């Protein structure tokens, strides 16, 4: 569990450092808050996914038995956090600047559903 959080914190740190470099970033507090919420939800979903014996909702992504390949699950979910944060950040610099929060919010909702789903079937 600790190494999962360490990897997700590293992804969070990389995305916030990237946000400081460019002047047209979204409000720093809003961006950090949304990225932190995303990292927390994804970390919990990753933990619960690795606790499960068999993946039923997305075996094509994490494999049928995610316990056998924890590195794959962690890499995929960490990449999702980093990608959503960077896409949201760069959306702010385009003419679609009002929608910078959409990629992160979409992942918060989808991984939040994963947390609820895993808790309902007993992966906690």
Each residue of 20-70: pLDDT tens digit?
455 455 578 888 999 999 999 999 998 888 887 777 677 778 778 888 888
Whole-angstrom Cα distance, residue 51 to residue 98? 38
Residues 88-105 have a mean pLDDT of 90
pLDDT higher than 70, residue 4 = no
For 62, residues 6+ apart whose C-beta sits below 8 A from its C-beta are 49, 55, 69, 72, 73, 76
């Amino acid at each position: 569990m600790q190494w999962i959080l360490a990897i997700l914190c590293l992804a969070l740190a990389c995305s916030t450092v990237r946000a400081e470099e460019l002047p047209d970033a979204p409000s720093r507090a809003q961006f950090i808050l949304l990225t932190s919420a995303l990292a927390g939800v994804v970390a919990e979903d990753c933990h619960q996914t690795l606790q499960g014996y068999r993946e039923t909702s997305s075996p094509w992504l994490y494999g049928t038995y995610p316990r056998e390949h924890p590195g794959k699950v962690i890499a995929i979910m960490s990449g999702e956090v980093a990608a959503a944060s960077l896409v949201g950040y760069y959306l702010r610099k385009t003419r679609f600047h009002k929608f910078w929060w959409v990629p992160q919010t979409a992942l918060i909702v989808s991984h939040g559903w994963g947390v609820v789903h895993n808790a309902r079937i007993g992966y906690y």
